[in-house]
A and B are shown apart, each in its own frame.
Chain A
């Protein structure tokens, strides 16, 4: 039985963590993650959980303590944002290479500088190649659901890979939303108990964890790390199926929204998908064949699902909420274009263009998104991508923006 509650994204994550009841949480506060651990500390203080909470002196220590606890055999977690993730980057890599199934909510915030506390994805994108599984959440419901599923994905014996549950700072983390949560015992049974094969506190079968690994074995161990991510593809989908039985909510690697007959599409991550959906509905009422592909699983990257979803699309805009300095497009654009090329689809078959938006919490509205769809139709008419690198709502660049009125179908460029 699920119950309906109103929670912010941070509270939704804290609620999921409470129900999971991990053995150890080591955390250091950073905006906008603070509220999550504030809430969790309250659960600890009120005896609602059995967790040993370690308040450390930095995020580097937070991840280090989490790794230590996990290696000792505990179910261990932490959470962070932005500079905190940057500071722990060194050990974030080690968590993955030691194959420790840590779950970490990452509340996405811009990386300094200039210093900024608001949402973008530059923090988590800096961890793309650390070997973690990266899930993105559109709203509080997905934050909650992804946290519950992340534990089972990470701890699966074929996977043993840590998972980041990403959600947009402030936009999701601090916005009160309606969501459905499961009963405590349902989550408890769903995640089960953590039963590691090797762990430091096993005195009967002692192991050494983290020894020096040189030219003769380092490469092989990195390759075996990749194997965990490859195996996670099946596990992520199996866990989603089991979770759907429990919750009634289905999760794929991507979510297709009105893609069946779409001529143009936007691909994006996180909360912006909600704004795009609302725009799509309005443009559909005007007869425009537009659609959205939201990517939920960014690592491992769902190339096959994406190519399948794009097969009838003529033009696509890839939204990046982070910069890819020194090349065209942000990280998601580069992934998508590489995926299309790898599938033998030429840039003439699908006109792909890059849209960088929302850095440092800059607003993106339906007017901007409608403008992007109009750009895509223009590209189809022109038979080519008129402008490859676009910026949304950035002064000094032509930003796509359409003022439209659904009732009268009046459309004008602003």
Chain B
């Protein structure tokens, strides 16, 4: 997203475009990164339910992986992933 000059902004910083937070890439904030191990996944979709940033990608009812442009690395998905699966692993961002 190209950044605007102050002259081009709406006074008061109002947001007039619905859903534009998808243009704001918060992935760079991450310290820990979730790694998805597809072979362990039971597709319960708890991760998808709990993700506060809508960063879990699901297709046809199956967990696909993460939207790393928006995942802030909070680790809730890994925590909620059931004990019998443990398909999500949190690793330090710079180690991966």
Do the beta carbons of B10 and A217 come within 8 Å of each other? Answer: no
A3 at the interface (CB under 8 A from B): no
Identify the interface centre among B3, B4, B13, B15: most chain A CB within 10 Å of its CB: B13
Please give, as numbers and ranges, the residues of chain A lying within 8 Å of B3 by CB-CB distance.
Answer: 216-217
Could you tell me which residues of chain A, from 201 to 223, have a CB within 8 Å of some CB in chain B?
205-211, 213, 216-217, 219-221, 223
Do the beta carbons of A207 and B16 come within 8 Å of each other? Answer: yes
Of A73-81, A84-92, A95-103, A132-140, the one touching chain B: A95-103
Do the beta carbons of B9 and A224 come within 8 Å of each other? Answer: yes
Query: What's the nearest-Cβ distance from chain A to residue B16, in Å?
Result: 5
Do the beta carbons of A207 and B9 come within 8 Å of each other? Answer: no
Interchain CA distance A211-B4 in the complex, whole Å: 17
Do the beta carbons of A221 and B18 come within 8 Å of each other? Answer: no
Which one of A208, A211, A213, A224 contacts B11 once the chains associate, using CB atoms below 8 Å?
Answer: A224
Interchain CA distance A217-B20 in the complex, whole Å: 15
Do the beta carbons of B6 and A223 come within 8 Å of each other? Answer: yes
A341 at the interface (CB under 8 A from B): no
Do the beta carbons of A209 and B12 come within 8 Å of each other? Answer: yes
Do the beta carbons of B15 and A208 come within 8 Å of each other? Answer: yes
Do the beta carbons of A220 and B12 come within 8 Å of each other? Answer: no
Give per-residue flags for A85-125: 1 if the beta carbon is below 8 A from chain B beta carbons, else 0: 00000000000011110000000000000000000000000
Q: How large is the interface on A (under 10, 10 to 19, 20 to 34, 35 or more residues)?
A: 20 to 34
Using CB atoms, name the residue of chain B closest to A219. Answer: B6
Query: What's the nearest-Cβ distance from chain A to residue B19, in Å?
Result: 10
Task: Known A220-B6, A224-B6; judge A198-B13 contact (CB<8 A).
Answer: no
Number of interface residues of B (CB under 8 A): 14
Do the beta carbons of A160 and B4 come within 8 Å of each other? Answer: no
Using CB atoms, name the residue of chain A closest to B15. Answer: A208
Give per-residue flags for B1-38: 1 if the beta carbon is below 8 A from chain A beta carbons, else 0: 00111110111111110100000000000000000000
Please give, as numbers and ranges, the residues of chain A lying within 8 Å of B16 by CB-CB distance.
Answer: 198, 205, 207
Query: What's the nearest-Cβ distance from chain B to residue A91, in Å?
Result: 14
Do the beta carbons of A211 and B15 come within 8 Å of each other? Answer: yes
A169 at the interface (CB under 8 A from B): no
A371 at the interface (CB under 8 A from B): no
Using CB atoms, name the residue of chain B closest to A96. Answer: B12
A300 at the interface (CB under 8 A from B): no
Do the beta carbons of A221 and B6 come within 8 Å of each other? Answer: yes
A-B contact pairs, 27 of them (CB 8 A): A97-B13, A98-B12, A98-B13, A99-B11, A99-B12, A100-B12, A160-B11, A160-B12, A198-B10, A198-B14, A205-B16, A206-B18, A207-B16, A209-B12, A209-B14, A211-B13, A217-B3, A219-B6, A220-B4, A220-B5, A220-B6, A220-B9, A221-B12, A221-B13, A223-B6, A227-B6, A228-B11
- Chain B residues with CB under 8 Å of chain A are 3-7, 9-16, 18
> Can you name 9 extra interface pairs (CB under 8 A) apart from A97-B12, A227-B7?
A98-B13, A99-B12, A160-B12, A209-B14, A217-B13, A220-B4, A221-B12, A224-B6, A228-B11
